[in-house]
Amino acid sequence: MGNLTESKKRDFVTQLVVIMEQNAQLLADKGFDPANKIDQLKQELSAADEAEGKQADAMAAAKNATQLAQNTLNTAYTDGSATVDLISGLLGKKDNLLLEIKKLRK
């Protein structure tokens, strides 16, 4: 089971359901009524589909949050750099405070 992909597992369950539906009478004649198992597998497959949808939504939300964080940080960095330029204009390029501030970027 470890080497099977999601699509192979999904195909297996789907095909098994179809085979049991098509051969319900044969299985019943042999002492196994597949109706409950068919319903169970269909419900499990539906739950897996729903969970996969939630997973996709979570992945999209994570990407959006990452993009927002990066954009916000870029804005803060740009504003900080502009502030350094302002301080440079006020104090002069040789001022010790400005030289210390410029070391922060390294």
At residue 105, the pLDDT reads 81
DSSP of 3-70, one letter per residue? T--HHHHHHHHHHHHHHHHHTHHHHHHTT---HHHHHHHHHHHHHHHHHHHHHHHHHHHHHHHHHHHH
Residues of the chain under the 70 pLDDT cut: 1
pTM above threshold 0.75: no
